[in-house]
Chains A and B, each alone.
Chain A
Amino acid sequence: MATLAAGVLTLAVSLGRMGWPDMLAPRGRDSLTAVFLGETRRLLANHFFIKADAYFHGGYYPSVFDNQNAYQTAHFVEDAGHAESKNEGDEHDFLGRPRNWLDRFGRHFYPSEHIHLGEDSEHRHDHGHGEEREILPWLRLAATLDPENPVTYASTAYWLRRMGKVKEAEQFLREGLRHLPGDPQILFELGQIHREANQDLAKARNLWEAALRRWEEREASKAEPNLFLLNQILANLAKLEEEAGRNAQAVIYLRRLKSVSPFPESIQQWLDRLSSPSGASPAQKLKP
C-alpha cells in the first residue's frame, strides 16, 4: 500500500513537471479536478456542503432514512442570510418518538439534541464561541470541488467575517470572483465586508450597486429569478442611503423593494417614515 501511494505521488509530480496539467486542463488546477472527477465532483461538493451543515449541528443531522423537511436549506447558509429558507419541519425533533426498545437504547450512542455551533446548549455549555470554525474545512473542500457555486463562497465569507477573519473572507470572495466574474451574490457579500467590518461605506455602496446591475443582467430575465438576493441588495442599499442622509435615493430603492418584497406593508412603513418630516436621517438632523 505504501509503495502504491509513493508510486501515485511520484507519477503526479512527474506529470506536473511535464506540463500535463496545462494539456489536460487549459484553465489550470480546478479544471484538472474536473478532468479526473467529471460531474462526480459536484456530487462530492454537495456532500461536503451538507457535511458542513451536519458539523454546524454538532452531528445531530437526519440521514436519508429520516424526515428531512427541516433540513432542506442548510441552516448555516440560512443564518448567513444567503438563502431563503425552505425548511418546513421540526428541526428539533426529526427523530420523533423512539420506535422500539432498540431505537430508544440506541439514542444514547449518537447526538440526539438540536444545537448550532457557537451557541450554548443545555449539555454542551463548556463549548462556546469560535466553534463555528469547524465547518470551514468542508466548505473549503466543497469550493475546491465545485468552484462555480456562489453560495459556498458567500456563506463561508459570512462565517469567516463573524469569526473576525475579515482578510481571509475577502480573499476567499475574490477567489470566488475569479471563478464567477461579477457574480451578484459574491459582490453583495463583499459589500457586507466593507460595510460592517471595514466601515468603508463608499466601497460598500459601489459593490452593492454593481451587484444590483449584475442581478439585472443575469437574473431578471430568468423564469425564477433569485428575488431573495434582490431583496437583500435593495434593503441594504436603502439602509445605507438613509444613513448617509440621501433619502431620495433610499426611497427609489424602497419603492423597488416594495414591489418584490414578501412583506410590502413593512416596506411601506419604512417609506412613510422616510417621507414624514420627523423621519429625517441622523445625518440630516445634525445639519444646521
Chain B
Amino acid sequence: MRVIWAMARVVILELIRRKDFYVLFTLAAVLTLLAGSVNIFDDRQIARYVVELNYLLVMISSLVIAITTTARQIPSEFEQRTILSLLAKPVSRAQVLAGKLLGAWVACGLCLVVFYAFLMLLTYSKQHGLGLPLLVQAAWLHWIMLGVVIGMALAGSLVFAAPSSNATICLVVVVGLLGVGRYLDKLALSAAEPLQSLLLAAYYALPHLEFFDLRELLIHHWPPVKWWAVGLATLYGLGYMALCYGLSCWLFQRKRMQ
C-alpha cells in the first residue's frame, strides 16, 4: 500500500503543479459571478439559474481534469522511458496502475472540494442556502463517478495510441452515457434486430453514470436521496472502478515494454 500511495502522491503533486485546475476554476468562478451579477427584473433572490450554470461548469471541468490527468499517466511513463526503471524496482504492474488510479482519483476529489465549497458560498450569498446533506451526497456521488471515468481513461490509455485520442473518446463516451444512458432500453424497443439486442446489452453492461448526477435535485431544492440508495450507488460505482482496473491490469500485462 505504501508503494501505491507513493505513486499516487506523485500524480497529486503533478496536478497541483500544472495549471489546468487553476484555469478551469477561475473560468468557472468568473462566468458564474458574471451570470449572478445580472439584474433580472430587479430580483436579487433568483438563484437557481446560477447554481445550474455553476454545476454545469463544475461537471465539465471535473471531467476534463479527470480524463486528461489520467490519459497522460501511462503514455508519459513510456515516452520518458521511466516505465522500465519503475518496473525494475520491486513494484508490480498492478501496483503502478493502482497508484495512478488512486492518485488521479484523490486529486480530482481535492478539486471537487474546492468547486463544491465555491458552489455553497455562492448559494448562501444568494440567500438560497443548499441543504447540506444533499450537497454532500452530490459531491460524494460526483467523486465516485469520476472514479469510474478515471478507470475508463486508464484502460483507454493502454489501448489508444495517443493521450489526446483517448481523452476525446472518453469524453464523448461519458457525455453520451450521461445524456442517453438512461434511455438506451427505450431506444432498443423502437429499434429492429440486431440493433435492439445490442442496445439492450449496452444498457445493462455500461455504467449508468446518471446515478451519480444529482444536478436536478440540487438545483430545484429537492430533499436528499435516501442514504441506502447512495450506498448502493457507491457500491455500483466502485464495482465498475474495479472492473476497469482489472481490465487495465490485463491490458498492461499483455503490453510489450519496448
Contact = CB atoms under 8 A, between A and B. Distances in A.
A165 interface: yes
Contacts of A130: 45
B139 to A, nearest CB: 14
Given A65-B183, A110-B217, A165 B23 contact: no
A65 B186 contact: yes
Chain B interface, >50% SS class: helix
Given A111-B216, A127-B221, A100 B45 contact: no
B226 interface: yes
Contacts of B211: 105-106, 109
B60 to A, nearest CB: 12
Contacts of A140: 40-41
Contact of A124 (B46, B141, B216, B221): B221
A134 B217 CA distance: 15
A1 B57 CA distance: 14
B229 A108 contact: yes
Interface string A122-140: 0110010010011011101
Interface size on B, as a range, is: 35 or more
A165 B216 contact: no
A109 B214 contact: yes
Interface string A148-179: 00000000000010000100100010000000
B204 A109 contact: no
Contacts of A58: 220-222
Nearest to B141: A109
Contacts of A124: 221-223
Chain A interface, >50% SS class: helix
Contacts of B219: 59
Nearest to B23: A1
Contacts of A111: 216-217, 220, 222
A63 B43 CA distance: 30
Interface string B201-223: 00110001011111011011111
Given A1-B27, A138-B49, A165-B42, A109 B210 contact: yes
Given A99-B186, A165-B43, 15 more contacts: A1-B27, A5-B27, A58-B220, A59-B217, A102-B185, A103-B182, A108-B225, A109-B212, A109-B213, A109-B225, A123-B223, A124-B223, A134-B46, A137-B38, A168-B41
Interface of A: 1-2, 5, 55, 58-59, 63, 65, 99-100, 102-103, 105-106, 108-111, 123-124, 127, 130, 133-134, 136-138, 140, 160, 165, 168, 172
11 contacts: A55-B48, A58-B220, A58-B221, A99-B185, A102-B208, A105-B211, A106-B182, A109-B213, A133-B45, A134-B48, A134-B49
